[in-house]
Amino acid sequence: MKLTKLQIEQIETLTKDVLDIDLYYFIEQSEAENMDELEEELQENGAFDIEIIYYANAIKFLRENDPSLRDSLSLAYEFGFTLDHDHLHSETLASILASDMEREAFQEIREKLDDILFNK
């Protein structure tokens, strides 16, 4: 999808301090004709997947965003993880939570993004 200079500026303003992903990159690669298609492409291409590596980074992220671990453990359970799962550790929990937070942040700006991209 080819964006105008105005659209690029509007997207940058809309996503600044809201999303961690490079939304502009994914939109430029997209062939979506509506917001539903764009969101599906973003999901399929892992745009919302955030990986937090290193124990210290994961613990810091969890301490700041989910100190009780209630949200991250609930999300992990939804993805099929169990407490005795070998791969369920702080980095996994932090990554799952960060990815979910990115999806939620996208949902908050979805309507405005739709106006910028598809309701010219």
Q: Which tens digit of pLDDT belongs to each residue from 73-119? A: 999 999 998 877 667 899 999 999 999 999 999 999 999 999 999 98
Boundaries of domain holding 42 = 5-118
pLDDT of 120 over the 70 cut? no
pLDDT of 33 over the 90 cut? yes
Cα of first residue to Cα of last residue in the chain, in angstroms, is 14
Give the number of other Cβ atoms within 10 Å of residue 13's Cβ. Answer: 11
Query: Which pLDDT does position 2 carry in this prediction?
Result: 86
**Integer Cα distance of 120 and 106 in angstroms:** 20
Q: How many domains does the chain have?
A: 1
**What pTM was estimated for this model as a whole?**
0.87
**Integer Cα distance of 98 and 101 in angstroms:** 5
